[in-house]
Each structure stands twice: as structure tokens, then as C-alpha cells.
Amino acid sequence: ETGVTQSPTHLIKTRGQQVTLRCSSQSGHNTVSWYQQALGQGPQFIFQYYREEENGRGNFPPRFSGLQFPNYSSELNVNALELDDSALYLCASSLDRGPTDTQYFGPGTRLTVL
């Protein structure tokens, strides 16, 4: 069984640009969640996708959007990048979307916005 993978590992962008981060969930996992972890902080919930539809969102603006595909891959898109978007972005996959379903995290993508 393969774990959760993310690409790229690191990314540098400039303010105003757009970025796409990718995640590959564990096989069989219907749910993927994305988190933003600023330096020295705990991860913050961005949104969750269940069976290819957005299932819930945290306190993030609409310029943060996502997609989930049938092959267990997913994307996080961020438009109009701001300096405060610099963070580690983590995806987590789980079998289902309930609060007792364990979320398994990938290694993250480190985004730097200059």
C-alpha cells in the first residue's frame, strides 16, 4: 500500500501569480483534505473533497480552490498569490469523511511567495 504523495516538494512564486499543488491519495480513499501550515503554527483546514465534490471549507477565500479526480489524485489551486500564502501545504486522505476516519498526511509542498 503506497502512502500519500505530494508534488512538487518546493515551489517559489511571486505575488499575483497562480499555483497548482498536487496530491495522490492512498488507493481506496474517497476523501482528501487540504491544510495550510504557516511557520511555527499548527495546520489550518482549507477544505475537503469527497467523491470529487467539495464537501466543506474552512476560513479561506474563494481564490483557494480544488479538484479531486477519480484516480485518487487531487489539486489545490491558489490564485492571486499573496505574501501570506507562504506556507507548507499538506494534503491528507481518509477512507471516508467522518470525524472518526483517520487522515493520513503527505509530506507537504513548501510554497514561498516573493
Q: How far is the CB of 35 from another protein (least distance, A)?
A: 8
Q: How far is the CB of 57 from another protein (least distance, A)?
A: 8
What's the gap between Cα 97 and its chain centre? 15
Give the nearer residue to another protein in terms of CB position, either 3 or 16. 3
Q: How far is the CB of 16 from another protein (least distance, A)?
A: 28
Give the span between the Cα atoms of 37 and 48, in whole angstroms.
16
DSSP 78-96: E-S--GGG-EEEEEEEESS
Binding site for another protein (CB under 8 A): 4, 6, 31, 33, 35, 40-45, 47-48, 50, 55-58, 90, 92, 94, 97-108
Give the span between the Cα atoms of 17 and 3, in whole angstroms.
30
Give the nearer residue to another protein in terms of CB position, either 16 or 60. 60
